[in-house]
Structure 1
């Protein structure tokens, strides 16, 4: 019986690294007996259309090659279907790959994990008909994402670092209205982030402690601090030690509604939607290979 999978590559991910990963992994997958549809969209919309066509045709798995952005796209295509999601890491951030314990510099090992066929079920964050795997940013972190995504240089984590420094010059605390499992709060904060997983942006562990299979979302609030204090706290995000800061709050909920004026949220590093929005946990919504 023929086993068919689709391999969707983001050719711009990792400054072309994803293409090299695909080219290394493709012969391995075919040698293992898979019929592989290798697809690449001219843009994100076409890539999503192609992925959905493959899923509708009944491919066994949709394997995405790139970073968290292509994972985000793949999730939109497979969630609610019988098609599983595989990942060949080839981006600059690769937070989802880290969640899954996939090596980011050994494409054949990642390919072998797909071939082995072991699966894992993950929760997703959901707002309306859109889903995310990692973190939804809805404050200073979202503003930094907005700036970073407009920058063509540098790549990787350094781009976020430069965007952070640039935004620190003018950023002021935001006024939020939150509803946490039906309990409403009004407060000022530097950021509110909703974690399905613990990190985003290439290892920023903003939602330290978040689990991918607990049926809950981790809502992080960082209340107002001065700019210098924010600069001092920023490096702690990479270790998750910011959780000891007195202005840090952490809540585990099934649903959260976030409202703040003028904020565009980001999820998995992708533009997600303007606030207000409601985010719910979708338990066990995604089946991944590896």
Structure 2
């Protein structure tokens, strides 16, 4: 693979993306790769550059440098195309890279994996068709976690994890159970829940093991429902997500399906940490849709 596209998110990890991106570019070119820089001022620009490069067959593989957000972008460029995706993990959480066993915050080792050219086919989840198709690799959040993300992203200050922590505290004061309609492999059900997460991978939010048994290559999506409980109990259960201990709670249910339709009013879902879109959403897993350089 001598023709490589490169997308760098310079703001990942508070500037780590820019630093490791420069190292990766130097290493790739020193190894003789022809690197096409597809980075842009924002994600939309990088998507436009990347789609054009993939469509005209200008690259043999795409390398992204950053956190889960830029992996999400890379998956949306590569899934279903046969173009492999390489990852130089340089974000704060790096959930997808860790779950795939890829190097984290190590540009030299990550570039070595890319240059080896070995690939692993992993599942990816998609919503929509044609030009409106969107993909995710890790976890889609569609409940309390998504509401907190939406609140935090409306604030300009503070930055970093503090903003998320304050958003959790504020949301706990006003949050109420959400009425959902789910259709899992054609079977429809209704419930009130505090949280619904759909996982192709096991973790999100910087190591939260929300669906610890989710696999990237089983052809299934894991769906977690935290059914209606008092908000005070939610405050007690939610931190247990970091260890996976929440699965023992009687209000937690996990089911598996190939297709998931998720409906609720006023909820905007987040996937791989990125704003994915408002519910309702129809999701399906596509086995082996994404080739990752491992």
| TM-score normalised by structure 2 residue count | 0.94
Cα deviation for residue 158 of structure 1 reads: 4.4
* Aligned equivalent of 1:202, options 182, 200, 206: 206
Matching residue of 1:45: 44
* Aligned equivalent of 2:192, options 183, 188, 191: 188
> What secondary structure, in the 3-state scheme, does the structure 2 residue paired with 1:165 have?
helix
- After superposing the two structures, state which structure 1 stretch, 253-262 or 156-165, moved more: 156-165
> What secondary structure, in the 3-state scheme, does the structure 1 residue paired with 2:5 have?
strand
> What secondary structure, in the 3-state scheme, does the structure 1 residue paired with 2:37 have?
strand
**Whole-angstrom distance in 2 between the partners of 1:88 and 1:148:** 27
Matching residue of 2:22: 23
**Whole-angstrom distance in 1 between the partners of 2:5 and 2:194:** 41
Q: Please list the CA deviations of residues 80-123 of structure 1 after superposition, one character each: whole Å capped at 9, or x if unmatched.
A: 21211011111122111111222322211111111111111110
Contact preservation (8 Å) 2:82, 2:290: no
Matching residue of 2:181: 177
Matching residue of 2:115: 115
Matching residue of 1:94: 94
1:252 aligns with 2:251: no
Change (3 A) 1:208 1:152: farther
1:211 aligns with 2:238: no
* Structure 1 runs of 4+ with >6 Å offset: none
> What secondary structure, in the 3-state scheme, does the structure 2 residue paired with 1:212 have?
coil
1:167 aligns with 2:157: no
> What secondary structure, in the 3-state scheme, does the structure 1 residue paired with 2:35 have?
strand
Cα deviation for residue 153 of structure 1 reads: 5.0
Matches within 5 A, 1:256-267: 256-267=260-271
Contact preservation (8 Å) 1:5, 1:63: yes
Matches within 5 A, 1:150-161: 150-153=154-157, 156-161=160-165
Q: RMSD between aligned alpha carbons?
A: 1.5
> What secondary structure, in the 3-state scheme, does the structure 1 residue paired with 2:27 have?
helix
**Whole-angstrom distance in 2 between the partners of 1:250 and 1:223:** 11
Change (3 A) 1:215 1:51: same
Q: Please list the CA deviations of residues 53-79 of structure 1 after superposition, one character each: whole Å capped at 9, or x if unmatched.
A: 221232111101111111111111112
Contact preservation (8 Å) 2:140, 2:269: yes
> What secondary structure, in the 3-state scheme, does the structure 2 residue paired with 1:41 have?
coil
> What secondary structure, in the 3-state scheme, does the structure 2 residue paired with 1:190 have?
strand
- After superposing the two structures, state which structure 1 stretch, 280-289 or 204-213, moved more: 204-213
**Whole-angstrom distance in 1 between the partners of 2:141 and 2:80:** 24
Matching residue of 2:276: 272
Contact preservation (8 Å) 1:9, 1:18: yes
**Whole-angstrom distance in 1 between the partners of 2:169 and 2:103:** 30
Q: Please list the CA deviations of residues 254-289 of structure 1 after superposition, one character each: whole Å capped at 9, or x if unmatched.
A: 111111111111111111111111111111100000
Cα deviation for residue 152 of structure 1 reads: 4.3
| Structure 1 unmatched runs, 5+ | none
Matching residue of 1:242: 246
1:147 aligns with 2:151: yes
Change (3 A) 1:151 1:91: farther
Change (3 A) 1:111 1:156: farther
Cα deviation for residue 148 of structure 1 reads: 2.5
- After superposing the two structures, state which structure 1 stretch, 265-274 or 30-39, moved more: 30-39
